[in-house]
Amino acid sequence: MNVFESSIIITLQNNIFSGLFVGQNLLTLKEVDSTNNFLKNLLSNSKPLPEGTVIMAETQFAGRGQQNNKWHAEPGKNLTFSVLLKPSFLAIADQFDLTRAISLGVYDALYPLLGDQLKIKWPNDIYYGDKKLGGMLIENLLQGNQLKSAIIGIGLNINQENFPDGAGNATSIKQILQKDYDLQAILADICNNIEAYYLNLKAGKTDLIRNTYLTRLYGFNEIKRFKVSEVEFEGKIIGVKENGLLVINQNNKESTYNLKEIKFLNN
């Protein structure tokens, strides 16, 4: 099936995006399996797509989350979109800096609405207090030792009022602030902020990005419960390695973990 047959395109216009490129080429789909899949297919099947292209969907019927989880979002009420970036300036070893930059962009866009309870939960979840507002699925396409392109899929719960029992600790801006928000306006703010951090990354301001990421990190320097290989323990997040591994201090011993190894408990 051709990528265009799987979805109805309802708009190709953009006028509230004030950045240089992120969101300037915006495609809004009525329905699609996953905006990440759609963007990936578009990349491989069509002429070169401009960096900053955004695919947004009203409904995703097979949204994908991290670690092979599904991403559920009530149709028309939430943000589900993917951004195309071409970070060929970034070495593969530094690809977690892109995760940091994107997380910070989303954070800064939402901070004026949500304030200090907003956090980035390692590696790239967006949290309000102990609840999950959204997350991202970043799929990097490599060429040699460099990143050719990155498909940044972002899901954020905006106007959804209720979540199924299985949705765990999900929340939405509507649940928090009791108000409905304009999805495109929030999308535009996110795109503008992502662009600003991405340009900082491109300009080599890696220390700024790494340090700022830590200041926004959920549970940083706080005692939290974790589980590794079925063993539960208390520890403190004391850092994140250049390559993105989480650094935890447990009884004055430092250990590093990847996402598959460690589970946060109580949230």
| DSSP state letter for 50 | P
Q: For 34-130, where are the E strands, in sequence order?
A: 54-60, 79-85, 118-121, 125-128
Pick from 23, 52, 63, 244: which binds ligand BTN (CB under 6 A)? 63
Pick from 28, 35, 103, 159: which binds ligand BTN (CB under 6 A)? 35
Q: How far is CA 141 from CA 22, 86, 111, in A?
A: 18, 9, 30
Pick from 11, 18, 45, 69: which binds ligand BTN (CB under 6 A)? 69
Contact 247, 239 (CB under 8 A): yes
Cα-based angle 112, 118, 124 (whole degrees, multiple of 5): 115
| Angle between helical axes of 206-215 and 96-114 (0-180°, round to 10) | 50
Nearer to ligand BTN, 19 or 65 (CB): 65
Contact 63, 71 (CB under 8 A): yes
How far is it, in rounded angstroms, from Cα 195 to Cα 221? 29
Least separation in angstroms between CB 25 and ligand BTN: 17
Nearer to ligand BTN, 131 or 205 (CB): 131
Least separation in angstroms between CB 244 and ligand BTN: 15
Least separation in angstroms between CB 24 and ligand BTN: 19
Nearer to ligand BTN, 34 or 172 (CB): 34
Point out the residue whose Cβ comes nearest to ligand BTN.
135
Contacts of residue 89, Cβ cutoff 8 Å, sequence gap at least 6: 202
The interface mask with ligand BTN, positions 117-156, x = CB under 6 A, is --------x---------xxx---------------xxx-
Of the ranges 29-37, 41-49, 174-182, 252-260, which one interacts with ligand BTN (CB under 6 A)?
29-37
Q: Is residue 65 near ligand BTN by the rule CB under 6 A?
A: yes
| Angle between helical axes of 183-202 and 96-114 (0-180°, round to 10) | 140
In the complex, which residues of this chain contact ligand BTN (CB under 6 A)? Answer: 34-36, 60, 63-66, 69, 71, 80-82, 125, 135-137, 153-155
